[in-house]
Amino acid sequence: MKEKISVYWSRRDFRLRDNPALTAAIAFAKKENALLLPLFILEDYMCAGDPKFQFGYPSRVFLSKNLPEFSSEFPHFALVRGKGAESILKLSKKADIHVFVNEDVYPDFYTQIKKIQHAGIDIKLFADMLTVSKETKTGAGNYYSVFTPFKKAVWKEFVEVKTFPKVSFSNVSFVSSQKIQELFSKIVEPKEKEIMKCFSDNKTFTVGKKEYDISELIDRNMKFENWYISEEGALKHFDSYLKNGMSGYKDDRDSLEKDKTSRMSLALAWGLVSTRTLKDKIQKHFDAKFENPFSTSLNQGAMHYISELIWREFYKYLFIHNPKLISQEFQEKFRGTVDWVEAHEAHKRFEAWIQGKTGYPVVDAAMMQLAEEGWMHNRARMIVASVLTKNLGVDWRWGQEYFRATLLDLDEASNNGGWQWGASVGADPKPIRIFNPYLQAENYDAHDVYQKKYLSEEYLANPPKPIVEHKDARGEALKRYGLSEKKDGDARYY
């Protein structure tokens, strides 16, 4: 008779608090007198560094640092090499397994789940990365495509959602380390150096039928040491922000000069904390439930922060129902109709954008921040996306792909939503937005603090000439999108 095992399959949920799949796996183990097996699979696509299955070098570095921390929370932990569904299928031949996993929003996740279900394995999915119901619909029975009505529809559900307490392993028996060795053929010791040995150091990505090596484009090394890498580190960081920055979030969040963002995007992308936990902490700190999405009497910094958390929900909601968004415009009228610059010129401009040589100082500073930190201020992300697509005329998919290869806090849904928004082809349609990089710098980096931090003295003393003068870029962008100067109401300038 096969041994009964409760498998907690960890993916992007490296935490003990508010972890529905882990909570359920423990409850099952206790009820059924089964052994608990926490499992993370270093999947082949993660290790290969193949640009066709983008899993950027920063993501590999993060896992090498986080997995030792997370695995140490358990008496025994299985870190194995292989393919996701295939590893589960092989395990099922050796034990009576019952799998618990938090639901993801990526199309490949559901492909793997179907393979496991087809094999007759008991696998249970739990809502996690998307907190609100994915079946939220308008009064007409359609899925939402505009943020504000979506926010209004889900706000109550979001602020009232319950969280799970930190799990306890008392009275739980784990699969032993020796047994793990018997169950899996490729075991990896959960230490940073051993995990990095599994990973390719490849830093390539492909756009426009051309493969780029980031190491050849950028001569700056990323600095990872200033980031938190665990649940406890992330919570400590957020607690500090609650006390010192949250109240000013509404006024300061866009300032490149002050840089007062919470920097919780990394924690949310990798599931070091849940959006629900952040919501709970905000409610407790301000002693308010924040039931009214349009209240003006409650702390406005906290109100705006909750709204931004729901923006993340919105992008995941869109991504689940439109998996082709990774390569296809949300707005059908812009599919194949935008006249991007021809390939040779596009590659020249794209390379200059990556290298911080566009001639727009605030853009070039932002690109250097990304090169150095694997992270970019959200206002800067909006600026560089607008300039790449509107001023330089380069396909938004190229920018998205570069971000996928370089962001430490990569969240596919938010990254895609941000790029489609920046290119004016995504959901939440408005007249085409054309950012003026000089005005953006004046508004959000008035004293050049941000630009001086990331640009060399040589650059600041003698900035390169813009690839495209902004006064000319506006007209070119309108034509590119099939608009005209006569219909100036079709565009908004920032």
Q: Residue 88 in contact with residue 9, Cβ under 8 Å?
A: yes
How far is the C-alpha of 335 from the C-alpha of 328, rounded, in Å?
7
Quote the pLDDT of residue 106.
83
How close are the terminal C-alpha atoms of the chain, in Å? Answer: 68
The β-bridge partners of 96 are: 4
At residue 489, the pLDDT reads 53
The string of pLDDT tens digits covering residues 137-177 is 999 999 999 999 999 999 999 999 999 999 999 999 999 99
Q: Which domains does the chain have, with CATH numbers?
A: 1-128 (3.40.50.620), 130-163+227-321 (1.25.40.80), 332-493 (1.10.579.10)
At 214-228, the pLDDT tens digits run 999 998 888 888 899
Render pLDDT for 286-321 as a digit per residue (tens, 0 to 9): 999 999 999 999 999 999 999 999 999 999 999 999
Average pLDDT over residues 473-484: 88
Of 430, 424, 432, 351, whose CA–CA distance to 392 is shortest?
351
Instruction: Using the predicted structure, report yes or no on whether residue 125 has a pLDDT greater than 90.
Output: yes
Give the pLDDT mean for 362-371. 98
Scanning the structure block, which residue is given the tokens 């907190």? 131
Largest CA distance in the chain: 77
CA 313 centroid distance within chain: 11
pLDDT at 431 (0 to 100) = 77
Reported pTM: 0.96
Q: Kindly indicate the confidence band of residue 487, based on its pLDDT and cuts at 50, 70 and 90.
A: low
Q: Which pLDDT band, with edges at 50, 70 and 90, does 493 fall under?
A: low
Q: What is the pLDDT of residues 79-98, one digit of tens each?
A: 999 999 999 999 999 999 99
User: Mean pLDDT lowest for which of 7-16, 240-249, 409-418, 479-488?
Assistant: 479-488
Mean pLDDT computed over 404-430: 94
